Structure 1
């Protein structure tokens, strides 16, 4: 199929995908008296996304093509027909899943296979192989010994369940992608078309251009503030990442690192008071304590998380030699001030989210409308967007979200396997039995279970599930209730940046056009503190602002220094590049300083030793680099 035929079709499908998502976000189907299952809508989105994938993504990744092979056209048609059939007849078919008729497993098998093939084209083999392993477990889980033994399912039931059930491909992950993600990607697309991205780049240069790594630091700050309100790490990535990731890349950072920093900053927003992705309110209800107590307890760990990320951003900038922007390249202040009208759209977004409690997707669409109006009325740098460009934003948005929708469908398969085989509950039961009365072992096993169970779920879903299944086991071995609940929330949210199903990292990678798995591994490194700090605050509640004032102050000071030292070790830079042994020394000193003095008897000595060693290593590195400069 030549370009003049397939491109208009692809653009039409992409625009239709965006319009359908917008209509659902605005509840237009109810306005016209159309009552639909949410899964019918998700199926319709997938029915548009899969054909788009086969039309726009070549079978061999990295190969440019003009004409689309007729095999890919056939696959696109097959995907549209199979999923369209499911969407149209969903209300009848959903009742027959466990009866396993051919009209269920036939389309289900087609959808499953074509989704995996489209996913391979979009992200490569790694994610596909992981999904296949989960599917094999669902088919043959009864052959495994012990507590990991699962309920084996027939392939007919599995195909129908994955394609139609609300716990499968049409479940929570794709619900976020098809609503929140599409709305925020559309908002970001409009920002690029109207000149908003240019304004924020200019503002970043004006505000932070005289400092190294300024764009990355702005991304950390903005994503942390917005993420607390958004209630979804993925929504935060697409909401702020469409602006910050291109800005970071223009500074000279590799694409996967730019995406990783945005993913980590966005995920941390769910841990940052006062809103914590709405989990703070629910946690107060679970624990029957004042909301202010939750906010106070969560504050220091969240700040340490962002301190670690901010330091790594600064060290990465120094290591890569990204210096301050030359003065002649920093935009004029008056020019930047003329673009302040772009902030009105963000003000509307935050007002609707925080005060009016709008759903994120609806708030994003209202903000997009404000953005269009102010841009047409005022413009930026003497230019206003053309109406044709604004209409073209529909298809640009649809094409941009295809990969995220495919990844979300894949995450739904993993969640479906966990549910249909009983693996999630087997893991929880095994956790309690194996952990027994050993708190360290139970903490380690709980962290693994939280990461697995948190895959693909929005913040509230993660917290509710883990608070019910894992937190009680931690409380039984003597961990404070608030520490146990924050612990499971932290590790549940780390599923967003921990491969294999790192939804936030993968969403950022698609925006940055960077490898998904490389972004996930980089995100784990940038977000290292979230894997360590929860262990520390369950060992000593001083980091949760519980205890004597002096003990709390000492814990905060030593933890801050510890975070600084370890972050420098991971970045491989302090006053200059760190040699391997120096990196090890920085890391050991930092970890020792991180341990709160009240964690165990003698922990004060580890604090003193860590601080002393850390200061010594810092001094040695500064002297070494000054001597090197003198010799030069």
Structure 2
């Protein structure tokens, strides 16, 4: 009898877990669409943004407890532990209670200190434990250090000395203040980023992955190194809308990495190209993994200004990937993709036109009608949802189960984004509350007075270290608060400063020792993870140099006069091309060591910004002359060798 009772209990809880988790995911997505679409205002309902954000965050935490065990591993069919079920119920209850009581608590927080403290402690336990399971300890360590500073700020000396924050004030601030947990970071993540994830999930579910892979193959497959170029186009595109280099590697890499290996690329090189292309997607307009909208919101500038500033550096990044793939194919002797594996361009467009139309709508809504990003994303989603009722790429049409699955996947994707944004908001708020932003800013400004290049180099290292392991949204929000202000104070343009920290934050994905995107790609390619990481650095080398150039030269961000913009663009493009030849060691034939050095020196000399010091123009000219001379010599040598053989 006892055994039967145990079985019934086990069956009940198993079914409960299977139903409650997807239901929570659906509720999260509904809340996101409800707020992002402006329905409360349209319906005349008075709702605080914090009420919706707290509910989204709490339900996302509950999903985390129901899908990950104590060690952070996904359950994947395993039974949810009783303690995790309790935590999930606590998270749901906390979210509902705080969403209901928030107007009262926010107005009377100083008159209800005990209630506020209890709510704060419960909220911190839920959010921080869910964050630990979702992404590990990296962000928790940063938050812990900032909290310790806030508590003992009066014990420091010099510019870091400040007024200490009492423990109770610290705890209630983290959870209940609109500048912390439910602040601008979570607002952007929940109301701007998640609508784009909803759109991207529907795009993938209606055949988007196959369509853009086929389109890339049709466009690039016939050229030398076509398999790698297919990977660069496909992974770059999906990296831009996915918002996570790691998840993009895991999805598109399953197709592109075997294709590159079959084409003749070494496993570590195939993994490195995939990791670099997926990471670069976060830097490619118009979406930039949603960071374009974060930049516009943070700097309070029109979205189109962000796109115009980011487009040239992003194109340079992908130009270098194409040049690398092409030259590496020539060096190794890799042929184009077999003709029978290349789909027809016309046929691909005829079958998948409807997957391009939402992007046209997105751009028109953003640029022509100046719609908010979240509204534009929902318009694109609605169009694709309507069209997919009648057609899908590859045949068939969408059914109601597909839409439910897309909504559920979006809710599940909210877990990391909501938790990271909430804790990033806590850190950002504490920087202001404790005065740490002023102290660190003063220290970095003093460093910059010694040498702007030294400040930029220090900031780059800090960005790579702090960015390790975090998705695009979390990386940018943290670095925009910590690293960008000192650069701006020293005279670097705000747009350049924010793009600088974004670039180096994203490069943490492929920079050893914690190059997560490269490690995932290396594992999929059957290569050593660390070797893949170093190869990815080699493949994506311009991303470590170009930010220094646009930090000093506004022309590369289209912020100067047309002559300055043109000269900066042409000089950097030529420099990237020449230096990549030297890096790969191949042009029209294999190069000797001195030839490689000559190409590399010519490229780097051509890239130097004229604002660096007096006389840089002469170095640029010398680089141009040396580069053209090397290209001419190589072409002439190959021509003579060919004539001699004839």
- The alignment's TM-score, normalised by the length of structure 1, stands at 0.76
CA contact (8 A) 2:304 2:367 kept: no
- Count residues in correspondence: 596
- After TM superposition, the structure 1 = structure 2 runs for residues 593-604 of structure 1, keeping only pairs within 5 Å, are 593-596=606-609, 599-604=612-617
What's the counterpart of residue 71 of structure 2? 60
Cα separation, partners in 2 of 1:552 and 1:373, compared to 1, 3 Å: closer
What's the counterpart of residue 533 of structure 1? 546
**SS at 2:153's partner residue?**
helix
* Partner Cα distance (2:631, 2:295) in 1: 39
1:201 aligns with 2:218: no
**SS at 2:490's partner residue?**
helix
CA contact (8 A) 1:119 1:406 kept: yes
1:411 aligns with 2:424: yes
* Partner Cα distance (2:124, 2:333) in 1: 46
What's the counterpart of residue 263 of structure 2? none
* Partner Cα distance (1:294, 1:403) in 2: 25
With 415-424 and 303-312 compared, the bigger mean Cα shift is at 303-312
Please list every run of 5 or more consecutive structure 1 residues that lacks an aligned counterpart in the other structure: 228-235, 475-482, 628-632
* Partner Cα distance (1:572, 1:137) in 2: 50
Cα separation, partners in 2 of 1:196 and 1:485, compared to 1, 3 Å: closer
Cα separation, partners in 2 of 1:324 and 1:277, compared to 1, 3 Å: farther
What's the counterpart of residue 214 of structure 1? 229
1:339 aligns with 2:344: no
Deviations 1:232-267 (A, max 9, x none): xxxx44499988973344111878964653343332
- After TM superposition, the structure 1 = structure 2 runs for residues 163-202 of structure 1, keeping only pairs within 5 Å, are 163-202=175-214
CA contact (8 A) 1:220 1:310 kept: no
CA contact (8 A) 1:540 1:596 kept: yes
Counterpart of 2:493 (choices 484, 487, 491) is 484
- Offset at residue 569 of structure 1 (A): 7.0
What's the counterpart of residue 230 of structure 1? none
- After TM superposition, the structure 1 = structure 2 runs for residues 605-624 of structure 1, keeping only pairs within 5 Å, are 606-607=619-620, 610=623
- Offset at residue 135 of structure 1 (A): 2.7
Deviations 1:111-160 (A, max 9, x none): 22332222222223333333322332233333333223344323322222
Counterpart of 1:250 (choices 252, 255, 263) is 255
Deviations 1:457-484 (A, max 9, x none): 899999899998753532xxxxxxxx63
CA contact (8 A) 1:339 1:380 kept: yes
What's the counterpart of residue 362 of structure 1? 375
**SS at 2:572's partner residue?**
helix
CA RMSD in angstroms comes to 5.2
Counterpart of 1:267 (choices 267, 276, 283) is 283
- Offset at residue 210 of structure 1 (A): 2.8
- After TM superposition, the structure 1 = structure 2 runs for residues 464-543 of structure 1, keeping only pairs within 5 Å, are 470-474=487-491, 484-494=493-503, 496-497=505-506, 529=542, 532-536=545-549
With 199-208 and 568-577 compared, the bigger mean Cα shift is at 568-577
**SS at 2:352's partner residue?**
coil
* Partner Cα distance (2:395, 2:463) in 1: 51
- Offset at residue 22 of structure 1 (A): 0.9
- Offset at residue 41 of structure 1 (A): 0.9
CA contact (8 A) 2:206 2:392 kept: yes
* Partner Cα distance (1:86, 1:542) in 2: 49
Deviations 1:327-372 (A, max 9, x none): 2233344354122122222222222222122222222222222112
What's the counterpart of residue 266 of structure 2? none
**SS at 2:165's partner residue?**
coil
* Partner Cα distance (1:150, 1:573) in 2: 57
- The alignment's TM-score, normalised by the length of structure 2, stands at 0.74
Counterpart of 1:6 (choices 8, 12, 17) is 17
Cα separation, partners in 2 of 1:437 and 1:406, compared to 1, 3 Å: closer
* Partner Cα distance (1:12, 1:513) in 2: 36
Please list every run of 5 or more consecutive structure 2 residues that lacks an aligned counterpart in the other structure: 1-9, 261-269, 642-646
- After TM superposition, the structure 1 = structure 2 runs for residues 26-425 of structure 1, keeping only pairs within 5 Å, are 26-62=37-73, 64=75, 66-97=78-109, 101-211=113-223, 212=226, 213-219=228-234, 222=237, 236-238=241-243, 246-252=251-257, 258=274, 261-269=277-285, 303-311=315-323, 324-332=336-344, 333-334=346-347, 336-425=349-438
**SS at 2:353's partner residue?**
coil
* Partner Cα distance (1:495, 1:488) in 2: 11
